[in-house]
Amino acid sequence: MTRFIIQRIIGLVFVMIGVSIITFALSQLVPVDPAAAALGQNAREDQIQAYRHELGLDQPALVQYATYINRLLHGDLGTSIRTRRPVRDDLRDFLPATIELSLAAMIVALIFGIALGIVAAINRNGILDALARGLALVGGSLPIFFLGLLLLAIFYSRLRWLPGPGRLDAVMQPPARVTGMYTIDSLLAGNWATFKNSLWHLILPALTLGYYSTAMILRMTRSSMLEVLHQDYMRTARAKGLTEQVVILRHGLRNAMTPVLTTVGITFGSLLSGAVLTETIFGWPGLGRYATASAVSLDFPAVMGVTLVAAIVYPVANMLVDIGYHFLDPQVRLS
Amino acid sequence: MALSQDRVEAIITEERLPVAQRWRLGRAFRQPAVLVGFLIFALFVLLAVFAPLISPYDPLGQNVVDGLKPPSAQYLFGTDKLGRDIFSRVLYGARLSLLSGVSVVLLAGSVGTLVGLLAGYLGSWADQIMMRITDIFFAFPGLILAMAIAGALGPSLPNALIAISVVTWPVYARLIRGQVLSLKERDFILAAHTLGIPEWQIIWRHLLPNTLAPLLVQASFDLGGAILSVAGLSFIGFGAQPPTPEWGVMISEGRNYIATQWWLATIPALAMLLLVASSNLLGDGLRDLLDPRLRDR
């Protein structure tokens, strides 16, 4: 186990070196001079040159990369051209909103995906199965940004059941920062009203972002359950006189979970991509919106920071999934 | 034991294409979902090809007097703020979306296949290096990297296609490498070696054709994914630019009207849903057809 984790962490270090090379190469591709962009239109040529020198932009690419890595190792992600703040501070402000949203989306996806997947498998080829499969097909085919707009139009603009964009109502104060996730922080502060409000704000974005993952988890749960349902041990469990519920949930679901877990790991990566679109629509001040705004204004220190951080999430999520396997099914060797 | 040349030829031809089982084609289409998927997809292809003949208006032609008209006999899908005919724009949008999907699949598919073939066939350190490179690309969340690339290259549809291809190719590299690893131990490849067939010919004529089946299945799924990703990039401003009749752009232009003039964004979104769903259904059918073990998944 320890050896496995060490191996994966070494692998992760290699991946991060590669990621840093790619993000750096991208920043070299940008046709706009970052120094000129930072100083604005009225800057004189000599001022731009001086600033280029200050930023080290007049150095050869290799030297610039070495400087970049050296700064990274000291935890310095550079300064954003757009917000004029250290990228690290920006990320610390924006990342928790995205983590909160992604976790909420994953909870939505796990609950609906697994429940509907089981229902579909038990009612194979029945009406419920057809409905669940239709839902999965639409989930994998509907543009997520349209789904968000639609949900907002229905539940906010028309019905007024749920709040509009943002993480909290404008009149609400964010809770004192502990994790940066409003739902958790407000609970920690014992502030029930803020908790309710932030949870309410979370529903539509989480449903939007979670729909695709729901579809994938549903499909995988269904097919995995179908395979398991006909196994001998299921018949044995029924023969023992166990209730159908126990047979399906304890004997069936547990054995069907391994491929589902893989799907969770894979869709976690897609959550971050989806977050870019979801956050844009719901005015959610997270990593995705920060990345979009930074990329629009060619603020490459910020873009590089976001890509770097985002690229850590997926390998780490997959490592956790692999470790999860081990607990779910000790027969699975970690290698 | 030496194999006779005839026997070797027989093994090679026999094992070349496990795909050539026509009778299964009929069976795949007997599933209603696959048939419906095929028909809808074919319809979109026809509409896209003949868009200039079918569309009643110029997709860019403005007629502000007739702005924001609901669907009617005159304007089948209504008009947008500038009085442009949504039906014509959706037709031309089908062209762009299909072209985008196909370009991404071709571009990412060829690069990925080449890398996968080489990695699987060469093995050892070459394989190690190439697979670590795919690991790196897998680590990026697709849309964030694509956005960074599109931002760096400048927002336009061709650059969005390049960006999406850059984040898609590793899937093919992994897939093909896995195929090659198992294929290269098979008798017919060993036989080809024994015959002294040049290596590039073994790769090109014996390995590649045998990877086509999973490649095709993957491509049909990615087609839909690529269409969604490109539209997503266009929606946030990193792909096709207004006034291009691209579906992502159209949805973005219609987003403020969704509660009042629903047709602006909803119709292109429905078109995209149908096209992507049909290509996913086709993918399901192809997978059943080419790999019966996965049926029912």
**Tell me: the pLDDT tens digits for A145-188?**
999 999 999 999 999 999 989 999 988 899 999 999 999 999 99
Cα-Cα end-to-end distance for chain B: 43
Q: What is the mean pLDDT of residues B103-124?
A: 94
The pLDDT of residue A333 is 54
Residue-level pLDDT at B248: 95
**pLDDT, tens only, A237-246:** 888 888 888 8
More confident residue, A325 or A70: A70
Per-residue model confidence (pLDDT) at position A150: 94
CA distances from A165 to A83, A203, B226 (A): 22, 11, 28
Task: Give yes or no for a cis peptide into A34 (omega within 30° of 0).
Answer: no
Closest chain B CA to residue A149: B255
In the predicted model, what is the mean pLDDT of residues A204-223? 93
pLDDT of res. B297: 42
Answer whether A141 sits within 8 Å of B273, measured CB to CB.
yes
Question: Cβ–Cβ of B280/A137 closer than 8 Å?
Answer: yes
- Which residue of chain A has the CA closest to B277? A141
Distance from CA of B150 to the nearest CA of A (A): 9
- CA A82, A84, A85 angle in degrees (round to 5)? 120
At A224, list the tokens.
Answer: 């995995």
The ipTM value here is: 0.88
pLDDT tens-digit profile of A58-93? 888 899 999 989 998 998 988 888 888 999 999 999
Query: Which residues in chain B are contacts of A142 at CB distance < 8 A?
Result: 269, 272-273, 276
Q: Yes or no: say if B176 and B212 are a contact pair by the CB < 8 Å rule.
A: no
Residue B80 has which token pair?
A: 């947008």
Three-state secondary-structure class, residue A79: strand
Q: How far is B140 from chain A (nearest CA, A)?
A: 5
Dihedral pair phi/psi, residue B85, rounded to 5°: -75, 120
Which pLDDT does position B17 carry in this prediction? 42
Of A200, A175, A201, A197, whose CA–CA distance to A188 is shortest? A175
| Closest alpha carbon to B254 in B264, B269, B241 | B264
| Arithmetic mean of pLDDT, A30-56 | 79
**Which residues of chain B have a CB within 8 Å of the CB of A18?**
132-133, 135-136, 139
pLDDT beyond 80 at B193: yes
The reported pLDDT for the residue numbered A60 is 87
Is the separation of the CB atoms in B37 and B29 below 8 Å? no
- Contact status, residue A290 vs residue A85, Cβ threshold 8 Å: no
Of the candidates B137, B151, B231, which has its C-beta nearest A303's C-beta? Answer: B151
Calpha distance B28→B287 (Å, rounded)? 9
* Separation CA B247–CA B224 (nearest Å): 14
Distances (CA, A) of A154 to A50, A92, A267, B260: 54, 33, 27, 11
For helices A192-229 and A254-282, the axis angle rounded to 10 degrees is: 140
Query: What backbone phi and psi angles, to 5 degrees, belong to A193?
Result: -65, -45
Q: Please give the average per-residue pLDDT across A190-206, as a whole number.
A: 95
Contact (CB<8Å) A311/B140: yes
Structure tokens at A183: 């739902």
**Could you tell me which residues come within 8 angstroms of residue A127 by beta carbon, excluding any fewer than 6 positions away?**
none
Q: What does the pLDDT read at residue A291?
A: 92
* Cα distance between residue B191 and residue A111, in whole Å: 52
Query: d(Cα A148, Cα A158) in Å, to the nearest integer?
Result: 14
With CB atoms and an 8 Å threshold, state whether B296 touches A223.
Answer: yes
- Whether A328 has a pLDDT exceeding 80, the answer reads no
Nearest chain A residue to B233 by CA: give it.
A277
Among candidates A239, A249, A232, which has minimal Cα distance to A119? A249
- Partner residue opposite A277 with nearest CB, options B140, B236, B277: B236
φ and ψ at B227, to 5 degrees?
A: -60, -45
The answer to whether residue A330 scores a pLDDT higher than 70 is no
Q: What percent of chain A has pLDDT over 90?
A: 45
Which of A94, A149, A220, A303 best tests the B interface by mutation, with the highest count of B CBs <10 A? A149
Distance CA A8, CA A2 (A): 10
pLDDT in tens, A119-150: 999 998 899 999 999 999 999 899 999 999 99
pTM score, whole prediction: 0.88
Q: What is the pLDDT of residue B5?
A: 53
Residue A226 with chain B: CB contacts under 8 Å:
296
What burial class does residue B14 get, using C-beta atoms within 10 Å of its C-beta: 0-12 exposed, 13-18 middle, 19+ buried? exposed
Range in A67-76, A256-265, B42-51, B230-239 the model is least confident about: A256-265
> For a pLDDT cut of 70, what percent of chain B falls above it?
88
Find the closest chain B residue to A29 by CA distance.
B152
Query: Could you give phi then psi for residue B78, rounded to 5 degrees?
Result: 80, -175
- From B6's Cα to the closest Cα of chain A, the distance in A is 43
Q: What is the mean pLDDT of chain B?
A: 86
Contact call for residues A157 and A148 (beta carbons, < 8 A): no
Determine whether the interchain pair B258/A31 forms a contact, defined as Cβ–Cβ distance below 8 Å. no
**For A225, nearest residue in chain B (alpha carbons):** B297
Q: Which chain B residues are Cβ-neighbours of A306 within 8 angstroms?
A: 144
Closest residue of B to A221, CA-based? B297
Query: Minimal Cα–Cα distance from A66 to chain B, Å?
Result: 19
Angle at B159 between CA A57 and CA A216, to 5 degrees: 110
Per-residue pLDDT at B12: 46
In angstroms, the separation between the Cα of residue A271 and the nearest Cα of chain B is: 8
Q: How far apart are CA A315 and CA A295, in angstroms?
A: 24
Which residue does chain B place closest to A142, by CA atoms? B273
Task: Give the pLDDT band of residue B26 (cuts 50, 70, 90).
Answer: low
**From CA B96, how far away is CA B114, in angstroms rounded?**
27
Mean pLDDT (whole number) for B237-242: 93
Interface of A with B in 222-251 (CB under 8 A): 223, 226
The verdict on a CB contact (< 8 Å) between A18 and B232 is no
